[in-house]
Amino acid sequence: MNLTLYVWRQKNANDKGKLVQYEAKDVSTHMSFLEMLDVVNEDLILKGEDPIAFDNDCREGICGTCSMMINGIPHGPEKGTTVCQLHMRHFKDGDKIYIEPWRAKAFPIMKDLIVDRSAFDRVIQAGGFVSINTGGAPDANAVPIPKESADTAMDAAACIGCGACVAACKNASAMLFVAAKVCQLVSLPQGKVEATNRVRNMVAQMDAERFGDCTNYYECEAACPKEIPVKFIAQMNREFLKAKLVK
């Protein structure tokens, strides 16, 4: 299978950047998307050219670093799939594929397809943790937790912090990411103690990082590789309103 790639190339944060055309030849349908880029990079290196810079780590859909826009869609055309899990069998011979980085003020481009997502780290540092002493790991049934609460916490914890929700949103909102982290902890007894300060601080940091507002178009849910539902945004809004009533 032969493909034509249009890849965003940008030397650094200050460079203007542009789309550059590359030919990917004899691509196996069994390759993952990142493996295909690896082969393209090998050819570029042999030619003495600068390889395409992109983030990757686990290549198992866990770490969330393989973040890029493929034909205008975060992580590509397959629902509930990260780029590293996307296989070339979903494309056809002769296809033209446009590959770009996330586009958001809070995610400045560092080089080519790599963006600085440390804004997410700072949001987590603002309150996305349990700092009180909850003791050692208890027995599985020592702390009674309703199944509904446990399921909610697990669903929210599926968020890998990739930033697809931000990239998909026309406002570059991080509401789904922040909501998932807030709701994961507030659904469990250990997280309820600091619930008020947590939601206040994380929302304040989200705003400070220049993420946009949520206007309920649901692009975030559609683009999320872990299919995090927007119901968590509503839950976080309720938590935030309750926190504003507490002095």
pLDDT along the chain (247 residues), means of 10: 98 96 97 98 97 97 96 97 97 98 96 98 96 75 86 97 97 98 95 95 97 95 97 97 89
pLDDT at 28: 97
Please report the pLDDT score of residue 217 as a whole number.
Answer: 93
Going along the chain from its start, the domains and CATH numbers come out as 3-110 (3.10.20.30), 117-244 (1.10.1060.10)
pLDDT at 134: 67
Residue-level pLDDT at 89: 97
Asked if 159 and 180 touch (Cβ cutoff 8 Å), the reply is yes
Q: Give pLDDT, residue 140.
A: 67
pTM here? 0.93
Q: Please, are residues 149 and 200 in contact by the beta-carbon 8 Å criterion? A: no
CA–CA separation, 157 vs 235, rounded Å? 14
Q: Map tokens 């872990």 to a residue.
A: 226
